[in-house]
Amino acid sequence: MSPGDPPTRAVTTDTTLRSAAFVPVIEQISTGEESSSQLELNNGNIDTNIARLSAHRGRQLVAELQLKRAAPVCWLPAELLSEIFIHLAQSDLRGYKSTKEGKDYAAHLIAVTVACVCVSWRVAALDTSRLWSRITVDEHTRHLEAYVCTCVLRSHEHGLEIDCMSAARLPAVLSHILPHAPRWESISFTGFFEDFCSIPPQHHFARLRKADLSIDSTIDSEAGAFDFLASAPMLRQVVVYVMESTNRQSIKLPSSWRLTSLHICLEGLHHIRPLVTALSQHQETLEDLICEFDDFLSSSPEDAVDSVHFPALGSLKLYDDAFSMLAYINAPNVREITLNNANTVDNPYTWLLIFTTLPSSPLTYLYSLHLVEVYHAFDEETGSELLHCLESMDNLQELEISCTSGSTLAFGPYDRLVAGLSFALWEGLTVREGERPLLPCLRSLELYLGTEILPDDARAAQRVSLTDMVRSRRKARVIEGREVVALKKIEVDEDLDI
């Protein structure tokens, strides 16, 4: 059956298909009646004619029975077919998404599979604009111009999701999609600095809500690489990745943006003031902030700047040296803080303490603190500093502390063993009669301690101290006038006798 044939022409008279209502039994009956009339007029061999008549009559009866038993053929509405095709394109059915094309070429896969079944399916597939609204390009994309132009055409006026992961091919992609800028809803571009700067700024992106922009070359931090998106009134979520700037400064972001979510990743940042200034443009609307950078010069006098008030900020995630941002952010309504891959060179808990003791404290709404990929030891000094921070987090409900691979809370990096064993953190979190309890609302505790690489005696001592702390929080009670809730979730990479 060819893709252009209507389904009725592809039907055979094989009896194995009759139960599926694909046998044209009406034609069989008509043919039988005509043959019978001819046989009745034939005055040849009577016995032969009688036998042939009997055989045809038998086939008539079978055909009539099949006609009565066969279910009627009901074609699915085009709208329902479209929804099925969309679901199929977004699914992970084994054998459907080829390793060669990948999931990002759903429109192409639909066109060469289900669209070839019959005419009606082909029409439905080609007319389902949502199937063609996602354009994905990488270095392996074949027939780039034909692919992009077909998606733009077949998607009609549907909003476009555009993903170009190849910096070398971004100019070619832009040449085809920029005329349709008002239809952009989501973009993810990887390109060179010069290509971003060469995009004309006159375009209006009326529907654009999300942008992921990655500059794959050294940039001039003073240049407006993202000014082409200045006219994007609906833009709310932005991810910016910059490989390196000429002077390890921050980058400029259009002040016209009304962002609620910003993820900014810089390979290196020597001075923090330009970044704080850039963020302050969005202080009234920003709800989620993720910052990643290293090579921060904490002693630089150029970084003297007042903290910025972020009244709507609810989630704050800081990676590597970005924990230094804590001294410049005033977020009284923050609900979640994550410090990832922080070390003790500049003492992250000193910066966290500054954040918790700003005029906006206590942090009434902070319920979750994650210290992830910790690459230092919680010795006596460090453990005590973290406890000072926790004193301002009375409403904290979730605490996660996890070491990196090859590290341990007891000793820090295992190949150096730079710190001595300390139980200050666990002792400070233990609830005792007659002492004001820390974190009275704590309900979830997740710990990856790295204790499997400790010597047996140190591991046993760690287990005892940790077990005492967890046991003290197993039941709800009132201590020193404070109601302490019971731990509901405990995940520890150690067998505890609790």
Mean pLDDT along residues 410-424: 53
Mean pLDDT along residues 291-314: 75
Q: Do 302 and 329 form a contact (C-beta atoms < 8 A)?
A: no
Residue 273 pLDDT grade (very low, low, confident, very high; cuts 50, 70, 90): confident
Q: Do 397 and 444 form a contact (C-beta atoms < 8 A)?
A: yes
Q: Which two tokens stand for residue 177?
A: 């999609």
> What pLDDT was estimated at residue 21?
33
For the ranges 63-72, 124-133, 151-160, the one whose mean pLDDT is highest: 151-160
The mean-pLDDT minimum among 6-15, 99-108, 313-322 falls in 6-15
Rounded to whole angstroms, how far apart are CA atoms 46 and 354? 112
> What pLDDT was estimated at residue 397?
96
Mean pLDDT along residues 459-474: 86
- 0.85 exceeded by pTM: no
The mean-pLDDT minimum among 6-20, 211-225, 334-348, 373-387 falls in 6-20
> What pLDDT was estimated at residue 5?
45
Residue 299 pLDDT grade (very low, low, confident, very high; cuts 50, 70, 90): very low
Reported as a single tens digit per residue, the pLDDT across 90-132 is: 765 544 444 444 445 566 677 778 788 888 888 888 888 888 8
> What pLDDT was estimated at residue 231?
94
In this predicted structure, the answer to whether residue 158 has a pLDDT above a threshold of 90 is yes
> What pLDDT was estimated at residue 205?
96
> What pLDDT was estimated at residue 381?
80
For the ranges 58-72, 197-211, 299-313, 448-462, the one whose mean pLDDT is highest: 197-211
Rounded to whole angstroms, how far apart are CA atoms 44 and 135? 73
Domain residue extents for the chain: 7-69, 367-498
